[in-house]
Structure 1
Amino acid sequence: MTRHILRLLAFGLALVGLSALPAMAAFKLKGEPKIALVIFTQKNDGGWSQALDEARQRLEASMGVKIPVVENVPENATAIRPAVELLISRGFNIIIGSAFGYSDTFKELSEKYPDVAFLNPAGITNGPNLQSFYGRTYESQYLCGMAAGAASKSGKLGFVAANPFGLVNWTVNAYALGAQQVNPNATVTVIYTGAWNDPVKERAAAEALIEQGIDVIGQHVDTPATQIVAQEKGVYATGHHRDLREFAPKATQCSSVWVWDRFLEPEIKKIIAGDWTPPAYGAFLSIKEGGTDIACCGDAVPKDAADKITAEREAIVNGKQVYAGPLADRDGKERVPAGQVLSDADLWKMDWFVKGVISQK
């Protein structure tokens, strides 16, 4: 886990300073474009992988193409390499991956097959024909935090999270900041499960939060267990990855959802047109650029609050920064001075919490 965290941090820090690098020549695709998606789990997992597959389906509809998907290709080279090479042997020349664990193998394959374009969400490797990308999930979680704050009667919110490092902590903090836009006294108690996908631990964490009197629970984990528990116990929740009303229609008030097709369609069109130049350090996508968005709002969110969420989303699209100063942590230490914005490097190494966040293991 430590190595995984350090590499994710290295990826985030590498995103800083893109403008200092010389421009590369545009990639030129050879032959007719043929696109394929390779997923590390089953495509209907209810979370991350299903969000990718749903983006694939939307791409098929909007671009008028067929994009086959290969499922259950685990995050190791001995599985990834033959699956991708079989696709390439069949003429596929735009390969979309699905995981951090594909990073090194995609890098090796991109060098072996320079005429094939590779795209990898959550990856950390890049090259002349390889682009990794991730989303600024704190933007959509901030908006879901607003929904949570509006739905809560007690002002006591909870959050089930995977691991306590930057890309998770920024969602927890943003959730709290969003809730406090609606209720300045709102608190967020976060429990870390230590795993991305463990419905047993997620259920236990959600139940523990509800036992503390929390009436709305957010999440940054892969399964809908948190939403299901919330509905069973008669409280509200907000989801991650996809619109989780599918699993808990009464409980789910907002979801942070991946909208990869909004980013991938213009990228694929650039590849096909011959004017695709992957950024040297990948892409860190805002709502406007096609990272995440929200599915909102449920019946427990009053109309005036829903309207405010819509206005805040528009403000973010137009450049509003969630982590703008002045901003202090929960211990009173200034983290962002007035007139400044938290840097991407500081986002990726975020190890602190804003006022109102109560962290538990």
Structure 2
Amino acid sequence: MKMSKMAVALASAACLITSAIAVAAPFKVQGDPKVAIILFGPKNDGGWSQAFMEALPAMEKALGETIPVVDKVPEDAASITPPAERFIQRGYNVIIGTAFGYSDTFKKLSEAHPDVAFLNASGTTNGPNLESFYGRTYESQYLCGMAAAAASKTGKLGFVAANPLPVVNWTINAYELGAKTINPNATVTVVFTGAWNDPVKERAAASALIDEGIDVIGQHVDTPTPQIVAQERGVYSTGHHRDLTEFAPKANQCSSIWTWSKFLVPELEKIKAGTWEPSPYGAFPGIKEGGTDISCCGSAVSEENKKKIFAARQSIIDGFPVFVGPLKDRDGKERLAAGQPISDADLWKMDWFVDGVISQK
């Protein structure tokens, strides 16, 4: 997932959006909704963009129409605006974007076209006809952390991540917290590549972790390279964005997956019915609402541990918050008092790691 300016945006953000705008009434498009999608990456990238393509059939079925897609659209206004304007000129009145870097441009487009509905994945801007959305990936990564610890013989887990931003930090922290429910001594060693999509750096990072004796590799990057390296080296792995078993059928034990159709179909149905009310704070769906889930489990996870993982999944659906006190960071500072769940505002500002996470400081 590309978020080239996320570090700056999230440093000052208290929640998903940059401004709160009151919605006076449900938004309604003129006529039947006609949906078009603008993808940041290639349709078959194996990760972030492909997850949206896999949600497409359910969306098309719900609306009874074919949804056009344009892919490989960079995060700059000069690249985003022309395809969006062409779609609108052709009568498309629901435009879905898929990148943080689309945020400002989508805001301007929504203001220029107040009769068109705009949705943007991983965005930060919202308005009367614009809603940004992202998933609570810490929920699914908590469960994959359980699977990683269940598969590990050493308790030494590794994680290949792009950048130490809040949306990445919470996946790493949740991964470690999940792992500890299976093995209280489990640790997660993280290597940051500095890039969302760089197979060369990802291969080097995964290899370095395995060389240190780590026997399960997790990830929050956009390619399946860490899974491929894990299989080549004879260790286990957990994936991100999609079920990455296809790239490493022996290695992959769990994947944190996007389930965007479960979120987007109801949103599109609300638009169709004229009852859509974009949240002034953006949408932040978890497993229950359809933003994220898991594909689990591989053969290295015992039936007993598989039952524990799916029992934990049900607990999350029922309201278990994952991050709840008492919780200290790895430096011993109390982050959550006993019984206190983390707020969404603090999630979006997470710049710390739980005990057991080992990374560059």
- Same fold by TM (over 0.5)? yes
Taking every aligned residue pair, what percent have the same amino acid on both sides?
A: 66
Q: Which amino acid aligns with 1:5?
A: A
Q: Give, in angstroms, the shift of residue 23 of structure 1.
A: 4.2
The answer for the alignment partner of 1:195 in structure 2 is 195
TM-score, normalising length from structure 2? 0.96
Please state if 1:28 is matched with 2:28.
Answer: yes
Alpha-carbon separation, structure 2, partners of 1:117 and 1:10:
27
Alpha-carbon separation, structure 1, partners of 2:83 and 2:13:
25
Residue 240 of structure 1 aligns to a residue in which SS?
strand
Q: Which amino acid aligns with 1:6?
A: V
CA distances 1:131-168 after superposition (whole Å, capped 9, x unpaired): 00111110000000000000000000000011112111
Alpha-carbon separation, structure 2, partners of 1:326 and 1:301:
29
Residue 284 of structure 1 aligns to a residue in which SS?
coil
Q: Which amino acid aligns with 2:15?
A: L
Aligned residues: 359
Alpha-carbon separation, structure 2, partners of 1:22 and 1:3:
26
The answer for the alignment partner of 2:209 in structure 1 is 209
The answer for the alignment partner of 1:150 in structure 2 is 150
The answer for the alignment partner of 1:39 in structure 2 is 39
**Aligned Cα RMSD in Å?**
1.7
CA distances 1:275-327 after superposition (whole Å, capped 9, x unpaired): 11101121111111111100000000000000110000000001001001111
The answer for the alignment partner of 2:91 in structure 1 is 91
Contact 2:243 2:255 (C-alpha < 8 Å) held by counterparts: yes
Alpha-carbon separation, structure 2, partners of 1:62 and 1:34:
12
The answer for the alignment partner of 1:6 in structure 2 is 8
The answer for the alignment partner of 1:346 in structure 2 is 346
The answer for the alignment partner of 1:133 in structure 2 is 133
The answer for the alignment partner of 2:113 in structure 1 is 113
Q: Give, in angstroms, the shift of residue 36 of structure 1.
A: 0.8
Residue 338 of structure 1 aligns to a residue in which SS?
coil
Q: Which amino acid aligns with 1:160?
A: V
Relative to structure 1, the CA distance from residue 311 to residue 63 in structure 2 (aligned partners, 3 Å threshold; closer, same or farther) is farther
Contact 1:189 1:360 (C-alpha < 8 Å) held by counterparts: no
Contact 2:140 2:294 (C-alpha < 8 Å) held by counterparts: yes
Q: Which amino acid aligns with 2:329?
A: D
Q: Which amino acid aligns with 1:142?
A: Y
Please state if 1:53 is matched with 2:63.
Answer: no
CA distances 1:33-87 after superposition (whole Å, capped 9, x unpaired): 1111111221100010000111122322344321111112211111111101111
Residue 181 of structure 1 aligns to a residue in which SS?
helix
The answer for the alignment partner of 1:179 in structure 2 is 179
The answer for the alignment partner of 1:329 in structure 2 is 329
CA distances 1:182-217 after superposition (whole Å, capped 9, x unpaired): 000101000101111111000000000000000001
Q: Give, in angstroms, the shift of residue 344 of structure 1.
A: 1.4
Q: Which amino acid aligns with 1:197?
A: N
TM-score, normalising length from structure 1? 0.96
The answer for the alignment partner of 1:290 in structure 2 is 290
Please state if 1:235 is matched with 2:235.
Answer: yes
